[in-house]
Protein backbone atom coordinates (compact mmCIF):
# COMPACT_ATOMS: atom_id res chain seq x y z
CA UNK A 1 0.00 0.00 0.00
CA UNK A 2 1.41 3.36 -1.05
CA UNK A 3 0.80 6.10 1.52
CA UNK A 4 3.57 8.68 1.28
CA UNK A 5 4.92 10.02 -2.03
CA UNK A 6 7.95 12.30 -2.41
CA UNK A 7 8.26 14.58 -5.48
CA UNK A 8 11.72 15.90 -6.42
CA UNK A 9 12.13 18.60 -9.09
CA UNK A 10 14.04 21.89 -9.27
CA UNK A 11 11.15 23.50 -11.19
CA UNK A 12 8.89 25.03 -8.53
CA UNK A 13 5.87 25.22 -10.83
CA UNK A 14 6.07 21.53 -11.72
CA UNK A 15 6.82 20.63 -8.10
CA UNK A 16 3.81 22.49 -6.70
CA UNK A 17 1.48 21.26 -9.47
CA UNK A 18 2.34 17.58 -8.93
CA UNK A 19 2.22 18.06 -5.14
CA UNK A 20 -1.34 19.44 -5.34
CA UNK A 21 -2.45 16.65 -7.68
CA UNK A 22 -1.04 13.87 -5.48
CA UNK A 23 -2.71 15.30 -2.40
CA UNK A 24 -5.98 15.62 -4.30
CA UNK A 25 -5.96 11.90 -5.15
CA UNK A 26 -5.49 10.97 -1.49
CA UNK A 27 -1.78 10.49 -0.85
CA UNK A 28 0.49 12.19 1.65
CA UNK A 29 2.98 14.21 -0.40
CA UNK A 30 6.34 15.77 0.40
CA UNK A 31 8.40 17.89 -2.00
CA UNK A 32 12.10 18.66 -2.46
CA UNK A 33 13.90 20.89 -4.93
CA UNK A 34 17.08 18.80 -5.05
CA UNK A 35 18.45 15.37 -4.19
CA UNK A 36 20.08 16.38 -0.89
CA UNK A 37 16.83 17.78 0.53
CA UNK A 38 15.08 14.67 -0.72
CA UNK A 39 17.53 12.40 1.15
CA UNK A 40 16.82 14.34 4.34
CA UNK A 41 13.09 13.72 3.91
CA UNK A 42 13.69 10.01 3.25
CA UNK A 43 15.72 9.73 6.46
CA UNK A 44 13.08 11.51 8.54
CA UNK A 45 9.89 10.02 7.07
CA UNK A 46 8.59 6.71 5.76
CA UNK A 47 8.26 7.23 2.00
CA UNK A 48 6.85 4.58 -0.35
CA UNK A 49 7.34 6.16 -3.79
CA UNK A 50 9.58 8.88 -5.22
CA UNK A 51 8.75 10.82 -8.40
CA UNK A 52 12.00 12.49 -9.45
CA UNK A 53 13.23 14.61 -12.34
CA UNK A 54 16.58 13.63 -13.94
CA UNK A 55 18.13 17.00 -14.63
CA UNK A 56 18.70 18.66 -11.23
CA UNK A 57 21.52 20.69 -9.69
CA UNK A 58 24.21 19.07 -7.53
CA UNK A 59 23.07 15.47 -8.15
CA UNK A 60 20.97 14.17 -11.05
CA UNK A 61 17.92 11.99 -10.58
CA UNK A 62 19.65 8.74 -11.59
CA UNK A 63 22.46 9.11 -9.03
CA UNK A 64 19.92 10.18 -6.42
CA UNK A 65 17.83 7.09 -7.12
CA UNK A 66 20.82 4.76 -6.79
CA UNK A 67 21.89 6.37 -3.51
CA UNK A 68 18.35 6.33 -2.11
CA UNK A 69 17.76 2.66 -3.01
CA UNK A 70 21.03 1.70 -1.30
CA UNK A 71 19.60 3.06 1.95
CA UNK A 72 15.95 2.15 1.31
CA UNK A 73 15.84 -1.06 -0.84
CA UNK A 74 12.02 -1.21 -1.01
CA UNK A 75 11.67 2.36 -2.27
CA UNK A 76 10.01 2.69 -5.72
CA UNK A 77 10.91 5.38 -8.26
CA UNK A 78 9.17 7.02 -11.21
CA UNK A 79 11.77 8.98 -13.16
CA UNK A 80 10.63 11.92 -15.33
CA UNK A 81 12.49 14.04 -17.87
CA UNK A 82 11.88 16.62 -20.56
CA UNK A 83 14.68 15.19 -22.73
CA UNK A 84 13.32 11.89 -24.05
CA UNK A 85 15.85 11.60 -26.85
CA UNK A 86 18.75 11.59 -24.36
CA UNK A 87 17.48 8.69 -22.24
CA UNK A 88 16.13 5.28 -23.15
CA UNK A 89 13.28 3.64 -21.28
CA UNK A 90 15.27 0.43 -20.86
CA UNK A 91 18.29 2.35 -19.52
CA UNK A 92 16.18 4.09 -16.86
CA UNK A 93 14.50 0.81 -15.82
CA UNK A 94 17.86 -0.99 -15.67
CA UNK A 95 19.13 1.77 -13.39
CA UNK A 96 16.43 0.78 -10.90
CA UNK A 97 13.30 2.79 -11.70
CA UNK A 98 9.84 1.26 -11.65
CA UNK A 99 8.62 3.52 -14.45
CA UNK A 100 9.59 6.46 -16.69
CA UNK A 101 7.67 9.55 -17.83
CA UNK A 102 8.42 12.19 -20.48
CA UNK A 103 7.48 15.79 -19.74
CA UNK A 104 4.98 17.20 -20.40
CA UNK A 105 2.58 14.52 -19.28
CA UNK A 106 -1.06 14.29 -18.32
CA UNK A 107 -2.04 13.69 -14.72
CA UNK A 108 -4.14 10.72 -15.88
CA UNK A 109 -0.87 9.11 -17.05
CA UNK A 110 0.83 9.83 -13.72
CA UNK A 111 -2.11 8.44 -11.76
CA UNK A 112 -2.14 5.32 -13.95
CA UNK A 113 1.55 4.70 -13.32
CA UNK A 114 1.16 5.19 -9.55
CA UNK A 115 -1.80 2.80 -9.56
CA UNK A 116 0.17 0.27 -11.61
CA UNK A 117 3.12 0.33 -9.19
CA UNK A 118 0.77 -0.03 -6.25
CA UNK A 119 -1.07 -2.94 -7.88
CA UNK A 120 2.09 -4.68 -9.01
CA UNK A 121 3.77 -4.21 -5.65
CA UNK A 122 0.72 -5.43 -3.77
CA UNK A 123 0.21 -8.36 -6.13
CA UNK A 124 3.81 -9.51 -5.88
CA UNK A 125 3.71 -9.28 -2.09
CA UNK A 126 0.45 -11.20 -2.09
CA UNK A 127 1.79 -13.82 -4.45
CA UNK A 128 4.88 -14.46 -2.34
CA UNK A 129 2.94 -14.52 0.90
CA UNK A 130 0.16 -16.67 -0.52
CA UNK A 131 2.66 -18.98 -2.20
CA UNK A 132 4.31 -19.74 1.13
CA UNK A 133 0.96 -20.22 2.85
CA UNK A 134 -0.31 -22.33 0.00
CA UNK A 135 2.66 -24.65 -0.01
CA UNK A 136 2.51 -25.09 3.76
CA UNK A 137 -1.17 -25.95 3.65
CA UNK A 138 -1.19 -27.75 0.31
CA UNK A 139 -2.05 -31.23 1.59
CA UNK A 140 -4.37 -29.97 4.34
CA UNK A 141 -6.54 -27.33 2.71
CA UNK A 142 -8.23 -27.66 -0.66
CA UNK A 143 -10.03 -24.42 0.17
CA UNK A 144 -6.73 -22.54 0.51
CA UNK A 145 -5.64 -23.91 -2.86
CA UNK A 146 -8.82 -22.62 -4.49
CA UNK A 147 -8.36 -19.14 -2.99
CA UNK A 148 -4.77 -19.05 -4.23
CA UNK A 149 -5.75 -20.13 -7.73
CA UNK A 150 -8.63 -17.65 -7.76
CA UNK A 151 -6.15 -14.87 -7.01
CA UNK A 152 -3.94 -15.92 -9.90
CA UNK A 153 -6.88 -16.57 -12.24
CA UNK A 154 -8.36 -13.12 -11.61
CA UNK A 155 -5.21 -11.25 -12.65
CA UNK A 156 -5.38 -9.27 -15.89
CA UNK A 157 -1.67 -10.01 -16.37
CA UNK A 158 -0.33 -13.36 -17.57
CA UNK A 159 0.99 -15.57 -14.76
CA UNK A 160 3.06 -18.72 -15.20
CA UNK A 161 4.83 -20.95 -12.69
CA UNK A 162 7.79 -23.24 -13.35
CA UNK A 163 9.45 -26.04 -11.48
CA UNK A 164 13.21 -26.05 -10.92
CA UNK A 165 13.74 -27.71 -14.32
CA UNK A 166 12.07 -24.77 -16.07
CA UNK A 167 8.95 -26.76 -17.02
CA UNK A 168 5.57 -25.04 -16.88
CA UNK A 169 3.25 -26.13 -14.07
CA UNK A 170 0.51 -23.53 -14.21
CA UNK A 171 -0.76 -20.67 -16.36
CA UNK A 172 -3.71 -18.39 -15.69
CA UNK A 173 -6.45 -17.43 -18.21
CA UNK A 174 -4.71 -14.15 -19.02
CA UNK A 175 -1.63 -16.08 -20.13
CA UNK A 176 -3.78 -17.93 -22.65
CA UNK A 177 -5.43 -14.67 -23.75
CA UNK A 178 -2.09 -12.86 -24.29
CA UNK A 179 0.14 -15.65 -25.61
CA UNK A 180 -2.38 -18.12 -27.04
CA UNK A 181 -1.07 -21.20 -25.15
CA UNK A 182 -3.34 -23.38 -23.02
CA UNK A 183 -2.20 -25.44 -20.05
CA UNK A 184 -2.72 -28.62 -22.09
CA UNK A 185 -0.29 -27.22 -24.70
CA UNK A 186 2.52 -26.54 -22.27
CA UNK A 187 2.16 -28.41 -18.98
CA UNK A 188 5.39 -30.21 -18.19
CA UNK A 189 7.17 -28.55 -21.13
CA UNK A 190 9.45 -25.55 -21.62
CA UNK A 191 7.43 -22.66 -23.02
CA UNK A 192 9.18 -20.98 -25.96
CA UNK A 193 7.75 -17.47 -25.87
CA UNK A 194 11.03 -15.51 -25.92
CA UNK A 195 12.78 -14.49 -29.19
CA UNK A 196 16.32 -15.80 -29.69
CA UNK A 197 17.69 -12.26 -29.42
CA UNK A 198 16.22 -11.83 -25.92
CA UNK A 199 16.40 -15.41 -24.63
CA UNK A 200 19.94 -15.63 -23.25
CA UNK A 201 19.84 -12.41 -21.24
CA UNK A 202 16.36 -13.08 -19.86
CA UNK A 203 17.27 -16.67 -18.98
CA UNK A 204 20.30 -15.49 -16.99
CA UNK A 205 18.12 -13.08 -15.02
CA UNK A 206 15.61 -15.83 -14.25
CA UNK A 207 18.40 -18.19 -13.14
CA UNK A 208 19.58 -15.59 -10.63
CA UNK A 209 16.06 -15.30 -9.24
CA UNK A 210 15.85 -19.06 -8.76
CA UNK A 211 19.40 -19.24 -7.42
CA UNK A 212 19.51 -16.67 -4.65
CA UNK A 213 15.97 -15.42 -4.46
CA UNK A 214 15.95 -11.66 -5.29
CA UNK A 215 12.80 -10.72 -7.16
CA UNK A 216 12.73 -9.09 -10.60
CA UNK A 217 10.33 -6.17 -11.02
CA UNK A 218 9.27 -4.80 -14.41
CA UNK A 219 12.05 -6.26 -16.57
CA UNK A 220 11.18 -5.39 -20.17
CA UNK A 221 11.86 -7.66 -23.13
CA UNK A 222 10.17 -9.12 -26.21
CA UNK A 223 7.81 -12.07 -26.34
CA UNK A 224 6.37 -14.43 -28.95
CA UNK A 225 2.74 -15.49 -29.07
CA UNK A 226 1.67 -18.94 -30.23
CA UNK A 227 0.86 -17.42 -33.63
CA UNK A 228 4.37 -15.99 -34.00
CA UNK A 229 3.46 -12.37 -33.24
CA UNK A 230 6.14 -10.36 -31.43
CA UNK A 231 4.92 -8.31 -28.48
CA UNK A 232 6.55 -6.16 -25.80
CA UNK A 233 6.31 -7.63 -22.32
CA UNK A 234 7.26 -6.69 -18.78
CA UNK A 235 8.36 -9.53 -16.46
CA UNK A 236 8.13 -9.56 -12.67
CA UNK A 237 9.33 -12.83 -11.18
CA UNK A 238 9.89 -14.35 -7.76
CA UNK A 239 11.12 -17.69 -6.47
CA UNK A 240 8.82 -19.75 -4.29
CA UNK A 241 9.75 -22.42 -1.73
CA UNK A 242 8.14 -25.65 -0.66
CA UNK A 243 6.70 -26.24 2.82
CA UNK A 244 10.20 -27.06 4.09
CA UNK A 245 11.59 -23.72 2.86
CA UNK A 246 13.59 -25.23 0.01
CA UNK A 247 13.46 -23.63 -3.48
CA UNK A 248 10.61 -25.22 -5.44
CA UNK A 249 10.23 -23.08 -8.55
CA UNK A 250 9.48 -19.71 -10.01
CA UNK A 251 6.33 -17.69 -10.53
CA UNK A 252 6.32 -14.90 -13.10
CA UNK A 253 3.90 -12.08 -13.94
CA UNK A 254 4.01 -11.12 -17.63
CA UNK A 255 2.39 -7.87 -18.71
CA UNK A 256 1.65 -7.03 -22.35
CA UNK A 257 3.09 -3.50 -22.74
CA UNK A 258 2.98 -3.37 -26.55
CA UNK A 259 0.57 -0.44 -26.73
CA UNK A 260 2.56 1.52 -24.16
CA UNK A 261 5.84 0.91 -25.98
CA UNK A 262 4.25 1.90 -29.29
CA UNK A 263 3.04 5.13 -27.67
CA UNK A 264 6.48 5.81 -26.24
CA UNK A 265 8.14 5.21 -29.60
CA UNK A 266 5.58 7.45 -31.28
CA UNK A 267 6.24 10.15 -28.69
CA UNK A 268 9.99 10.00 -29.23
CA UNK A 269 9.48 10.17 -33.00
CA UNK A 270 7.06 13.07 -32.60
CA UNK A 271 9.58 14.95 -30.47
CA UNK A 272 12.28 14.27 -33.06
CA UNK A 273 10.06 15.63 -35.82
CA UNK A 274 9.10 18.65 -33.72
CA UNK A 275 12.74 19.46 -33.02
CA UNK A 276 13.51 19.11 -36.72
CA UNK A 277 10.66 21.46 -37.59
CA UNK A 278 11.74 23.98 -34.97
CA UNK A 279 15.17 24.39 -36.60
CA UNK A 280 14.07 24.13 -40.24
CA UNK A 281 12.83 26.82 -42.61
CA UNK A 282 9.55 25.56 -44.04
CA UNK A 283 9.94 27.02 -47.54
CA UNK A 284 13.55 26.14 -48.38
CA UNK A 285 13.89 23.05 -46.12
CA UNK A 286 17.25 24.45 -45.00
CA UNK A 287 18.05 25.11 -41.35
CA UNK A 288 16.84 28.47 -40.00
CA UNK A 289 18.96 31.39 -38.80
CA UNK A 290 18.62 30.56 -35.10
CA UNK A 291 20.07 27.12 -35.73
CA UNK A 292 22.79 28.72 -37.86
CA UNK A 293 24.19 30.69 -34.94
CA UNK A 294 23.89 27.72 -32.57
CA UNK A 295 25.80 25.49 -34.99
CA UNK A 296 28.35 28.19 -35.76
CA UNK A 297 29.15 28.61 -32.06
CA UNK A 298 29.52 24.84 -31.69
CA UNK A 299 31.76 24.51 -34.75
CA UNK A 300 33.98 27.41 -33.69
CA UNK A 301 34.56 25.74 -30.31
CA UNK A 302 35.43 22.50 -32.09
CA UNK A 303 37.82 24.26 -34.48
CA UNK A 304 39.54 26.14 -31.64
CA UNK A 305 40.03 22.82 -29.87
CA UNK A 306 41.18 20.69 -32.80
CA UNK A 307 42.56 23.33 -35.21
CA UNK A 308 40.56 22.02 -38.17
CA UNK A 309 39.64 24.45 -40.98
CA UNK A 310 36.14 25.96 -41.10
CA UNK A 311 34.75 28.18 -43.85
CA UNK A 312 31.58 30.19 -44.37
CA UNK A 313 29.83 31.46 -47.46
CA UNK A 314 26.95 33.96 -47.48
CA UNK A 315 24.61 34.16 -50.47
CA UNK A 316 22.16 36.91 -51.47
CA UNK A 317 19.79 36.57 -54.43
CA UNK A 318 20.33 39.51 -56.74
CA UNK A 319 17.44 41.93 -57.33
CA UNK A 320 15.01 39.63 -55.60
CA UNK A 321 12.52 42.41 -54.83
CA UNK A 322 12.38 43.31 -58.52
CA UNK A 323 11.80 39.63 -59.39
CA UNK A 324 8.95 39.51 -56.88
CA UNK A 325 7.41 42.72 -58.18
CA UNK A 326 7.63 41.55 -61.78
CA UNK A 327 6.57 37.91 -61.51
CA UNK A 328 4.70 37.73 -58.22
CA UNK A 329 5.31 36.32 -54.77
CA UNK A 330 4.45 32.73 -55.70
CA UNK A 331 7.23 32.72 -58.28
CA UNK A 332 9.46 34.45 -55.73
CA UNK A 333 8.79 31.64 -53.26
CA UNK A 334 9.72 29.14 -55.97
CA UNK A 335 13.06 30.95 -56.39
CA UNK A 336 13.75 30.68 -52.65
CA UNK A 337 12.70 27.03 -52.60
CA UNK A 338 14.91 26.21 -55.58
CA UNK A 339 17.87 27.93 -53.94
CA UNK A 340 17.40 25.59 -50.96
CA UNK A 341 17.42 22.56 -53.27
CA UNK A 342 20.53 23.77 -55.13
CA UNK A 343 22.42 24.42 -51.91
CA UNK A 344 21.54 20.98 -50.54
CA UNK A 345 22.49 19.34 -53.84
CA UNK A 346 25.91 21.00 -54.09
CA UNK A 347 27.38 20.58 -50.61
CA UNK A 348 28.63 17.52 -48.76
CA UNK A 349 26.73 15.72 -46.04
CA UNK A 350 29.09 17.14 -43.41
CA UNK A 351 28.32 20.69 -44.56
CA UNK A 352 25.09 22.50 -43.70
CA UNK A 353 22.90 25.10 -45.41
CA UNK A 354 20.76 27.80 -43.76
CA UNK A 355 18.21 30.42 -44.72
CA UNK A 356 19.97 33.38 -43.15
CA UNK A 357 17.34 36.02 -43.88
CA UNK A 358 14.64 36.83 -46.45
CA UNK A 359 16.64 36.09 -49.62
CA UNK A 360 19.95 35.56 -47.83
CA UNK A 361 21.50 32.14 -47.24
CA UNK A 362 24.54 30.72 -45.47
CA UNK A 363 26.60 27.56 -45.80
CA UNK A 364 29.02 26.18 -43.20
CA UNK A 365 31.84 24.23 -44.84
CA UNK A 366 33.58 21.90 -42.41
CA UNK A 367 37.19 20.83 -42.94
CA UNK A 368 37.37 23.35 -45.83
CA UNK A 369 40.29 25.72 -46.41
CA UNK A 370 40.23 29.10 -48.15
CA UNK A 371 41.33 27.80 -51.55
CA UNK A 372 38.42 25.34 -51.73
CA UNK A 373 35.66 27.85 -50.95
CA UNK A 374 35.49 29.33 -54.45
CA UNK A 375 34.75 26.01 -56.17
CA UNK A 376 31.77 25.40 -53.85
CA UNK A 377 30.50 28.96 -54.25
CA UNK A 378 30.79 28.86 -58.03
CA UNK A 379 29.10 25.48 -58.26
CA UNK A 380 26.09 26.87 -56.39
CA UNK A 381 26.11 30.19 -58.26
CA UNK A 382 26.21 28.63 -61.71
CA UNK A 383 23.60 25.97 -60.89
CA UNK A 384 21.23 28.67 -59.61
CA UNK A 385 21.92 31.11 -62.42
CA UNK A 386 21.26 28.48 -65.09
CA UNK A 387 17.97 27.29 -63.60
CA UNK A 388 14.98 28.33 -65.71
CA UNK A 389 11.95 29.41 -63.67
CA UNK A 390 8.44 29.34 -65.14
CA UNK A 391 7.25 32.93 -65.13
CA UNK A 392 3.81 32.15 -66.62
CA UNK A 393 2.39 31.96 -70.14
CA UNK A 394 5.05 29.45 -71.09
CA UNK A 395 7.88 31.94 -70.57
CA UNK A 396 10.98 31.40 -68.48
CA UNK A 397 12.89 33.69 -66.14
CA UNK A 398 16.30 33.50 -64.53
CA UNK A 399 17.64 34.73 -61.21
CA UNK A 400 21.20 35.32 -60.10
CA UNK A 401 23.04 35.24 -56.79
CA UNK A 402 26.03 36.99 -55.27
CA UNK A 403 28.27 35.07 -52.90
CA UNK A 404 30.87 36.04 -50.31
CA UNK A 405 33.11 33.60 -48.45
CA UNK A 406 35.94 33.40 -45.96
CA UNK A 407 37.83 30.99 -43.69
CA UNK A 408 37.72 31.13 -39.91
CA UNK A 409 40.84 32.48 -38.23
CA UNK A 410 41.89 30.59 -35.10
CA UNK A 411 40.44 32.15 -31.90
CA UNK A 412 38.75 35.06 -33.70
CA UNK A 413 35.43 36.47 -32.57
CA UNK A 414 32.28 34.95 -34.11
CA UNK A 415 31.01 38.36 -35.17
CA UNK A 416 34.24 39.24 -36.99
CA UNK A 417 34.11 35.88 -38.84
CA UNK A 418 30.56 36.52 -40.07
CA UNK A 419 31.28 40.17 -40.79
CA UNK A 420 34.23 39.27 -43.03
CA UNK A 421 32.00 36.96 -45.08
CA UNK A 422 29.42 39.74 -45.22
CA UNK A 423 32.07 42.19 -46.50
CA UNK A 424 32.98 39.69 -49.22
CA UNK A 425 29.30 39.46 -50.17
CA UNK A 426 29.07 43.27 -50.26
CA UNK A 427 32.06 43.41 -52.59
CA UNK A 428 30.42 40.88 -54.91
CA UNK A 429 27.34 43.08 -55.02
CA UNK A 430 29.36 46.25 -55.52
CA UNK A 431 31.44 44.71 -58.33
CA UNK A 432 28.37 43.98 -60.44
CA UNK A 433 26.55 41.09 -58.71
CA UNK A 434 26.27 37.48 -59.97
CA UNK A 435 29.79 36.62 -58.81
CA UNK A 436 31.72 35.08 -55.92
CA UNK A 437 34.27 36.97 -53.78
CA UNK A 438 36.45 35.16 -51.26
CA UNK A 439 38.36 37.12 -48.59
CA UNK A 440 41.20 35.94 -46.37
Indicate if the pLDDT at residue 294 is higher than 80: yes
Which of 192 and 311 is assigned the larger pLDDT? 311
Q: List the domain boundaries for the chain.
A: 4-105, 118-260, 279-439
The pLDDT assigned to 299 comes to 94
Q: What is the homologous superfamily of the domain 4-105 according to CATH?
A: Response regulator (3.40.50.2300)
| Residue-wise pLDDT tens digits, 209-267 | 666 656 777 888 888 888 888 899 888 888 887 778 788 888 888 888 888 888 888 88
3-state secondary structure the chain: CCCEEEEECCCHHHHHHHHHHHHHCCCEEEEECCHHHHHHHHHHCCCCEEEEECCCCCCCHHHHHHHHHHHCCCCEEEEEECCHHHCCHHHHHHCCCCEEEECCCCHHHHHHHHHHHHHHHHHHHHHHHHHHHHHHCCCCCHHHHHHHHHHHHCCCCEEEEEECCCCEEEECHHHHHHHCCCHHHHCCCCCCCCCHHHHHHHHHHHHHHHHHCCCEEEEEEEEECCCCCEEEEEEEEEEEECCCCCEEEEEEEEEECHHHHHHHHHHHHHHHHHHHHHCECCCCCCECHHHHHHHHHHHHHHHHHHCCCEEEEEEEECCHHHHHHHHCHHHHHHHHHHHHHHHHHCCCCCCEEEECCCCEEEEEEECCCHHHHHHHHHHHHHHHHCCCEEEECCEEECCCEEEEEEECCCCCCHHHHHHHHHHHHHHHHHCCCCCEEEEC
Match domain 118-260 to its CATH number in 3.30.450.20, 3.40.50.11890, 3.20.20.80, 3.40.718.10: 3.30.450.20
Which of 314 and 396 is assigned the larger pLDDT? 314
pLDDT band at residue 121 using 50, 70 and 90 as cut-offs: confident
Query: What average pLDDT score do residues 72-96 get?
Result: 82
CB 52 within 8 A of CB 60: no
Closest to 179 measured CA to CA, from 157, 197, 153? 157
Average per-residue pLDDT for the chain: 86
pLDDT band at residue 432 using 50, 70 and 90 as cut-offs: very high
Q: CA 51, CA 177: separation in Å to the nearest integer? A: 33
pTM listed for this prediction: 0.48
Name the CATH architecture for the domain at 279-439: 2-Layer Sandwich (3.30)
The pLDDT assigned to 198 comes to 64
> 118-260 and 279-439 share one CATH topology?
no
pLDDT band at residue 137 using 50, 70 and 90 as cut-offs: low
The pLDDT assigned to 353 comes to 95
CB 197 within 8 A of CB 183: no
pLDDT band at residue 429 using 50, 70 and 90 as cut-offs: very high
The pLDDT assigned to 184 comes to 80
pLDDT band at residue 338 using 50, 70 and 90 as cut-offs: very high
pLDDT band at residue 154 using 50, 70 and 90 as cut-offs: confident
Query: What average pLDDT score do residues 372-383 get?
Result: 96
Amino acid sequence: MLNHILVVDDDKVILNTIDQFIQNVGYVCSVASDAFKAMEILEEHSVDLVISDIAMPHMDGIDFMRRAVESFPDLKFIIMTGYASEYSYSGIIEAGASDFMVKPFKFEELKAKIDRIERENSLLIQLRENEQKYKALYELSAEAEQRYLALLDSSVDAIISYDLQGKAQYINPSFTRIFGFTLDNIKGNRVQFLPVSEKDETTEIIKKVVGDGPSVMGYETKGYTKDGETIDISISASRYNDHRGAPAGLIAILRNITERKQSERALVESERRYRRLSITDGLTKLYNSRHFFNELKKEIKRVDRHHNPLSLILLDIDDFKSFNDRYGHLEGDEVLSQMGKIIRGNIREVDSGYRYGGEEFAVLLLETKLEAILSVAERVRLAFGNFAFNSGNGKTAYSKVSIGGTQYVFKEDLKSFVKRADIALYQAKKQGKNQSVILE
